[in-house]
Amino acid sequence: MLQMEKEALLAEQKQVTEETNNAATWLKKANKKLLVEQKHFNKYLSGHHVNTPKPHTAEPPQITRCPQHCAGGDDLETDAFMTISLEAQLIAERLENATKAHQIMELKTQLLSLRADYDKEHQKVFHQNQLAVDLKKENTTLAQQKQRYFCLLLELREKVLKMQKELNRQEKHNLKRRKAEATEATKTKRELEDMSQDKATLIEELNAANQSLARRALEIEALKSRLAILEGGGFWVPCK
């Protein structure tokens, strides 16, 4: 769109330049023609004083009538004056139109420059908006990832709590088991101590029984010897 406007503006500038050149050429020719007509008019009006304007001016010539002016030359003087005035007015209008055309072209050039600046700023704003959209998408993606990581963290925390609960339960069970084992070990130790004491008592009783059996055996041997003596017809005298 902007390229088409630039091309149209260049074409219009070219056309205005051509028209300005044509107007300048026509102005030169008109000035030459006007000078020639002024010379002829001055020769014709030998009895009149004419204030001829300078070339390239838009003011009509000022004509001063002399007292000897005749009525027959008035129409010719009026026609020449109107011709010069119209040509000067036409030259002024063409110059004014050329000036206005140049002003319009300058305004269009400024407008096109402003349009280009506007398009640049629009591109910057569009680029910034695109960056904002990309940043928003990235923030949305990061928020989704954060939410997903938060959910995973909650699941992991729940698993850790379950594992900790299970470990606590196992620890309590192991503590009870260790207490029971310690109690059983203490009971077994006491029983072993009791058995050891019973064993010592039994050993003492066994020793006492052995000593008693030894005494009884001696007594039996003595009784056997006494019986043998008595059976042999002898006398048995107890020892004092």
pLDDT confidence of residue 172: 93
Number of domains present in the structure of the chain: 1
pLDDT confidence of residue 67: 45
pLDDT confidence of residue 206: 92
pLDDT confidence of residue 77: 59
Q: Report the C-alpha gap between 120 and 74 in whole angstroms.
A: 67
Nearest Cα residue to 9 out of 96, 97, 115: 115
Domain that holds residue 36: 2-131
* 189 located within any domain: no
Angle between helices 74-231 and 2-44 (to 10 degrees): 160
* 138 located within any domain: no
Residue written as token pair 């402003």: 114
Nearest Cα residue to 67 out of 51, 81, 52, 48: 48
pLDDT confidence of residue 104: 81
* 56 located within any domain: yes
* 124 located within any domain: yes
* 77 located within any domain: yes
Q: What is the DSSP letter of 67?
A: T
10-residue averages of pLDDT along the chain (240 residues): 68 74 74 75 61 47 45 56 72 77 80 82 89 92 92 94 94 93 92 90 92 91 84 61
* 142 located within any domain: no
* 6 located within any domain: yes
pLDDT confidence of residue 75: 62
Region of 222 (left: φ > 0; alpha: ψ -120 to 50; beta: rest) is alpha
pLDDT confidence of residue 1: 60
* 157 located within any domain: no
pLDDT confidence of residue 171: 93
pLDDT confidence of residue 236: 54
Measure Cα distances from 108 to 10, 100, 117, 123, 133 in Å. 10, 12, 14, 22, 36
pLDDT confidence of residue 63: 43
